Structure 1
Amino acid sequence: MGDLDGKTFLVTGANTGIGKETVRGLAARGARVVIAGRSEERTRAAIRELTAATGNHDLDFLPLDLGDLESVRAAARTFLASGERLDVLVNNAGLAGKRGMTESGFELAFGTNHVGPFLLTELLRDRIVETGPGRIVNVASAGHYRARGIDWEAVRRPSVTRTAFDEYCVSKLANVLHARELGRRLAGTGVTTYSLHPGAIASDVWREVPFGLRQAMKLFMKSPEQGARTSLYCGTSPEVADATGRYYDAEREKTPSKVVTDELAGELWARSEEWVGPA
């Protein structure tokens, strides 16, 4: 028996890296965890490993491709049709270092890291409110400090920088802004929101970076287990139960970039709603 018995978490992109270690931490404490991602084979392999390690058999797979808004809608429909509770949504899945466009017509990092999670959150948030009290956690990055703002035209075109890192930073800025505005909109519902920097982590988020550079980068990075600590803190700690819309790093609240304003958060929200259509 654990302190999260009876609680249901949905974690995206959790068959490897930070997400997998987040699930491990939740499962060890008795939570039911739904792992949403693209690869059923890899996710079911991760579930077998985590079940063996924690003794928790209440782990499930949900098909989800965040770059395809129809897939996002299908995933939400499947979950909602189950009728089960949802205590915490962890928007963990992320992509970095790859150029291109998503299936739904957005710059690859922005579409995968923000637009898809935005729609998923909108489709599931009433269930979280009904379950309540609940939490919504966005895994962002300190990279958001590098972004000077959001070019609304650029996010609808293919990546232009060679490494797509600048585009990644913009997508992470969007994660922070999303949590801020969502926290404002959910005030009084019992649902709180968080964005966070997990640390520079040697995880599969960098899988598209050239092999040699990726190996060199990982020499200076933390482990996925270390990276999951702040996600678990924001998702479960009673210390932040009354906080909402804030940004965290190393299990501490931190001031986000000066670009993170209520005005920009509101504009991103309005544009995101327009992009995804009716929830």
Structure 2
Amino acid sequence: MTPPTSTPVTPNSRVALVTGANSGIGRVTAVELALRGYHVFLACRDAGKTAEVLDEIAQRSGGKAKAEFIALDLGDLDSVRQCAQAFNARELPLHLLVNNAGLAGQKGFTKSGFELAFGVCHVGHFLLTRLLLDRLKQAAPSRVVVVASRAHRHAKGIDFAAVRQPSRSRGGLMDYSVAKLANILFASELGRRLAGTGVTTYALHPGVVGTNVWRSVPWPLDALVKLFMIDSEEGAKTTLYCATSDAVAQQTGLYYDQCAVATPTPVARDAALAQALWTASEGWTQD
């Protein structure tokens, strides 16, 4: 196979951290940011898989891009704390946090005691963001980008007791919808709380992307649904738009689809629910 052509890189002194950056749209996002000159931290569970992405970045940039692995298991809040501590110890600014990692169609329970999708997609990211806020504020203008989903439209609300129990929905897909609703509520509430700090927030639907977020959907259903999905490069476009576009620099707390502001469901715009979710999340993640 012919090696990829090197891409010119102009370092821009900006630092980004991307969760779930070893596959799918997270991988595309991390590679693209590195090639645009960001110093990128790839926050992932699997160092071996992440090494493949780091090799791609090195090859495509001719060794000029700055990217490195940082260990993170979002289902384990101790791991989240260790990740934040490791990053903060570097005493670097943080200009961009991309809360990308997620999973769908998988039933289970996280090590820290949450329904699997909710624990990984929301609770882990909530704690990580909170622990990195000082670095984000110091680096302002900075951004927090949360990869949500149009699947939030299937959620009618959040049962705060149910998210502390193993999944009871068929295939875990309703749990995924609740987790994605939480992503949007979190981004909007974070935006309200950070008003005036120079830190802006964005939630987005990346499109229905054929990545390994669907790795637990059984065959042949997984193969069938992927026939109607877009690829990771297309799916990363709205993430990168929210992360880097000057057009959204003064916007915060909004929801995006196809690189444009979109309107989520009424429950996703419920400020009281967003505040209740924030309060519950603070309680769940206290040291």
Normalised by the size of structure 1, how large is the TM-score? 0.97
User: In structure 2, what is the Cα distance between the partners aligned to 1:211 and 1:253?
Assistant: 35
Tell me the SS of whatever aligns to 1:145.
helix
User: Is the contact made by 2:100 and 2:146 (CA closer than 8 Å) also made in structure 1?
Assistant: yes
User: Of the candidates 1, 14, 21, which is equivalent to residue 7 of structure 1?
Assistant: 14
The total of aligned residue pairs comes to 278
User: In structure 2, what is the Cα distance between the partners aligned to 1:52 and 1:274?
Assistant: 44
Deviation of 1:4 after TM superposition, in Å, equals 6.3
Tell me the SS of whatever aligns to 1:211.
coil
User: In structure 1, what is the Cα distance between the partners aligned to 2:9 and 2:256?
Assistant: 25
Tell me the SS of whatever aligns to 1:259.
helix
User: Is the contact made by 2:37 and 2:65 (CA closer than 8 Å) also made in structure 1?
Assistant: no
Deviation of 1:96 after TM superposition, in Å, equals 0.8
- Counting only pairs closer than 5 Å after superposition, residues 166-185 of structure 1 correspond to structure 2 as 166-185=174-193
- Counting only pairs closer than 5 Å after superposition, residues 99-178 of structure 1 correspond to structure 2 as 99-178=107-186
User: Of the candidates 27, 30, 33, which is equivalent to residue 23 of structure 1?
Assistant: 30
Deviation of 1:211 after TM superposition, in Å, equals 2.8
User: Is the contact made by 1:10 and 1:89 (CA closer than 8 Å) also made in structure 2?
Assistant: yes
User: Of the candidates 68, 71, 95, which is equivalent to residue 60 of structure 1?
Assistant: 68
User: In structure 1, what is the Cα distance between the partners aligned to 2:212 and 2:67?
Assistant: 21
Equivalent position of 2:285 in the other structure? 276
Tell me the SS of whatever aligns to 2:146.
strand
Deviation of 1:50 after TM superposition, in Å, equals 2.3
Equivalent position of 1:235 in the other structure? 243
Please tell me whether residue 250 in structure 1 is matched to residue 258 in structure 2: yes
Equivalent position of 1:264 in the other structure? 273
User: In structure 1, what is the Cα distance between the partners aligned to 2:70 and 2:131?
Assistant: 15
Deviation of 1:265 after TM superposition, in Å, equals 0.4
Tell me the SS of whatever aligns to 1:192.
strand
Equivalent position of 1:42 in the other structure? 49
Equivalent position of 1:51 in the other structure? 58
User: In structure 2, what is the Cα distance between the partners aligned to 1:104 and 1:38?
Assistant: 16
Equivalent position of 2:234 in the other structure? 226
Q: Percent identity?
A: 51
User: In structure 2, what is the Cα distance between the partners aligned to 1:27 and 1:200?
Assistant: 25
User: Of the candidates 214, 219, 225, which is equivalent to residue 217 of structure 1?
Assistant: 225
Deviation of 1:236 after TM superposition, in Å, equals 0.5
Unmatched tracts of structure 2, length 5 or more? 1-7
Tell me the SS of whatever aligns to 2:168.
coil
Of 233-242 and 21-30, more deviation after overlay is shown by: 21-30
- The verdict on how the C-alpha distance between 1:161 and 1:49 changes in structure 2, with shifts beyond 3 A counting, is same
Equivalent position of 2:4 in the other structure? none
Q: Name the amino acid aligned to 1:15.
A: N
Q: Name the amino acid aligned to 1:37.
A: C
User: Is the contact made by 1:201 and 1:227 (CA closer than 8 Å) also made in structure 2?
Assistant: yes
Tell me the SS of whatever aligns to 2:42.
strand
User: Is the contact made by 2:35 and 2:65 (CA closer than 8 Å) also made in structure 1?
Assistant: no
Q: Report runs of 4+ in structure 1 exceeding 6 Å deviation.
A: none
Equivalent position of 1:189 in the other structure? 197
User: In structure 2, what is the Cα distance between the partners aligned to 1:120 and 1:216?
Assistant: 35
Deviation of 1:3 after TM superposition, in Å, equals 6.7
User: Is the contact made by 1:192 and 1:242 (CA closer than 8 Å) also made in structure 2?
Assistant: yes
Normalised by the size of structure 2, how large is the TM-score? 0.95
Unmatched tracts of structure 1, length 5 or more? none
Deviation of 1:59 after TM superposition, in Å, equals 0.5
Partner deviation per Cα, 1:252-274 (whole Å, 9 max, x = no partner): 00011110211110000000000
Please tell me whether residue 98 in structure 1 is matched to residue 111 in structure 2: no
Deviation of 1:245 after TM superposition, in Å, equals 0.3
Deviation of 1:31 after TM superposition, in Å, equals 1.1
User: In structure 2, what is the Cα distance between the partners aligned to 1:161 and 1:83?
Assistant: 43
